Amino acid sequence: MTRYSDRSIRMNALSLIQRALLLPSCRKMTKEQWRQCFYEILFPVLEALLSSDMDEVDPEAIDESRFQAANLLCKTCLTHIQELLLLEDFFSLWKTVLEYLEQCSSENNSLYLRESVLESLKNMLFVLVDNGFLQSGSPEGETELTKQTLSEVTWAKVNGFMPQLREELLMQALLPAKGLQQVISVTAASLQVGKCLAPEAGVHQESHEEKLEVTAFPEGSNLVPKECL
């Protein structure tokens, strides 16, 4: 249904996928079940939407569907990063995520799609950097080897199409964190890292620019705020 020519059907299908993947009951899913969600749902949906055939199906609005799928990919990664890190083939999955985001931000795509997807990528990486996944001081449960490899894999890929982003995000992460509220521009519904999910009532399919307050947690603190436990 995500390949359907009718825009409303496509968008409703993507909305249903988002609701299913971000349901509170999904917190009980195993790491292997999350792996299946990526390889059997999220990746195939993006692959289909990025097909050149879709440009002929609905040239006026297909980029909106592509952005929604890419944004959902970012949100799912960020929300369940701790479970995903436990996968033996996590780095292969992570590289695939970054490759799809790179495809969406290609110069061959519209300015709307490029800018929207790059903003989603930037926001996702900002939270990962701010919580220590891509810099010194690893979150609990992450080994130094895993942290180093994740950082190397991420920036090796991202530097190829956003070379300035690493320095920008690392500089932001050096700002005083205690008590700081970082307000960043995000697309679609609010999200939290780890197992803290935002309410779905705030989702607006028609408006892609919303504001989300992201708490910059002090070094050594738990990744998930107490109010989310």
Q: Are 93 and 38 in contact (CB under 8 A)?
A: yes
> Between 32 and 22, where is the model more confident?
32
pLDDT digits (tens, 9 = 90+) for 118-142: 999 999 999 998 888 886 444 555 5
| Residue partners of 213: CB distance under 8 A and separation at least 6 | 181, 182, 183
In terms of residues, how long is the chain?
229
pLDDT-derived band at 220, boundaries 50, 70, 90 = very low
Q: Are 196 and 168 in contact (CB under 8 A)?
A: no
Torsion, Cα 24 208 41 105, to 10 degrees, reads: -140
| Residue partners of 174: CB distance under 8 A and separation at least 6 | none
pLDDT digits (tens, 9 = 90+) for 147-198: 558 888 999 999 999 999 988 888 877 765 443 344 344 333 334 444 443 3
| Residue partners of 134: CB distance under 8 A and separation at least 6 | 125, 128, 150, 151, 154, 155, 169
